Amino acid sequence: MIDFLKNKDVAVRWGFFLVLLAAFLFVNLPFLMPFLIAGVFALGLNDFVERLGKKLKIKRKPAIALTLLGGFAIFWIPISLAIYRLISYISQPEVIKTDKLVGQIHELKDLILGYLKKISGWTGTDIATPAADMANSLLRKSGEIVFQYSTEILGQLPAIFLASFVFVITLALLLSKAQAIKEFVFKYSLLKPDLTVRLIDVSKKSCSITLFSTLVIGLIQAGVIGIGSLIFGEGDFFLVLTLTFFVSFIPVIGAAPVGYLLAILAFIGGRTGNGVGLVVVATIAGSIDNILKPFMVGKENKISAVIGFTCVVGAIIMIGLPGLLIGPVIMNLFAGLSPLLLKREEPDLIQ
């Protein structure tokens, strides 16, 4: 009877806990993605914060504050300026018609139509007129789509800022309470302590790899392409910088195509020197990934670029823009944790 009451007591406590947990998750469901991304950043930045504190000989909280301020400056300042440019375009639609990039796109259209007219003269079949109608229709629809999408982004800015605020305070909390969280995990883990330690280490390494190999390399590549566009006067600096940063997350594609596209537009406009310079810049930016990633990631757990591409693009399709970060994290976690969880020589790892 006593054992039954003990078991009943445990069941009631666990049931009550699960109900409270479900209620907690339900009320915080709108912030699930900021919580998840903050957890990824906390795992990836934990060791960095410790090293920063030791190097600067400061306590953990000032090291956390410096890390957050540095990340805010690197990430949000360019994006904020890009948003400002976007707002200026939408508030003054007449500016778009005189924009250099729009003019370059029309130059590309005219060049292609010129070749089609020559082909029409050789063959005696008019293919230039239908192509011109289709090109004009495509450009008009593309402009409408871009305008609509930009307006939607601006309409979502309050929600984006709120999610960013939740992300920052959650990240600060997780980093400041890292030791308490680790002790909690060890206390209630169903796995052996040695396996728990290894799982935590692999999780931290997987998140760190994603942050420093993907984000840092993406920032460097975006900076190279952005500075190249500024030097050679092709495209809008902040829009190019932001676009290149997000495109650099996608394996196989990477950051170089943005630079090559700007180079093509320069060649079409007769600016040969600018085009050659941008080809060099794009080649350098594309090589950065191959040069830096082996040093930052190491040779173990080398994952196929095709798998990386499907994980990133699939994550974007499923959860939107956060998939740029969540996709690589899931991929690295799967590659890193699977060997530990499936090891057959340690059948007693579950307590």
Task: Please provide the DSSP assignment of 69-130 as one string.
Answer: HHHHHHHHHHHHHHHHHHHHHHH-HHHHHT-HHHHHHHHHHHHHHHHHHHHHHHHS---HHH
The fraction of the chain above a pLDDT of 90, given in percent, is 12
Per-residue confidence (pLDDT) for residue 96, from 0 to 100: 58
Residue 234: both structure tokens together: 């092709």
**Residues in Cβ contact with 263 at an 8 Å cutoff, skipping those fewer than 6 apart:** 234, 274, 275, 276, 278, 279, 282
Mean pLDDT of 297-302: 54
pLDDT in tens, 27-84: 999 898 999 999 999 998 998 899 998 898 899 899 999 999 888 877 777 777 767 7
Band the pLDDT of 4: cuts 50, 70, 90. Answer: very low
Band the pLDDT of 349: cuts 50, 70, 90. Answer: very low
Q: Please state the length of the chain.
A: 351
pLDDT at 345 over 50: no
pLDDT at 6 over 60: no
Angle between helices 128-155 and 60-91 (to 10 degrees): 130
Residue 231: both structure tokens together: 């030097």
pLDDT at 201 over 80: yes
Per-residue confidence (pLDDT) for residue 294, from 0 to 100: 60
Per-residue confidence (pLDDT) for residue 238, from 0 to 100: 76
Per-residue confidence (pLDDT) for residue 22, from 0 to 100: 92
- Considering 8-22, 39-53, 95-109, 301-315, the range whose residues carry the highest mean pLDDT is 39-53
CA distance 313 to 131: 32
User: Radius of gyration (Cα) for the chain, nearest Å?
Assistant: 26
Per-residue confidence (pLDDT) for residue 171, from 0 to 100: 93
Per-residue confidence (pLDDT) for residue 100, from 0 to 100: 63
- Report CA-CA distances (Å) from 188 to 180, 208, 342, 343: 12, 25, 21, 22
Mean pLDDT of 113-135: 77
Per-residue confidence (pLDDT) for residue 348, from 0 to 100: 43
Band the pLDDT of 26: cuts 50, 70, 90. Answer: very high
What residue ranges do the domains of the chain occupy? Answer: 41-84+161-188, 191-344
CA distance 18 to 59: 37
Mean pLDDT of 96-108: 65
Longest distance between any two alpha carbons in the chain, whole Å = 99
* Burial degree of 196 (CB within 10 A; 0-12, 13-18, 19+): middle
pLDDT in tens, 255-291: 888 889 888 888 877 788 888 999 999 999 888 877 7
Band the pLDDT of 347: cuts 50, 70, 90. Answer: very low
pTM above 0.85, yes or no: no
pLDDT at 233 over 70: yes
Angle between helices 323-341 and 193-209 (to 10 degrees): 150
- Considering 140-154, 182-196, 241-255, the range whose residues carry the highest mean pLDDT is 182-196
Hey, which residues does 191 pair with through a beta bridge?
Answer: 350
What's the chain's average pLDDT?
79
CA distance 141 to 212: 38
pLDDT at 117 over 60: yes
Per-residue confidence (pLDDT) for residue 301, from 0 to 100: 53
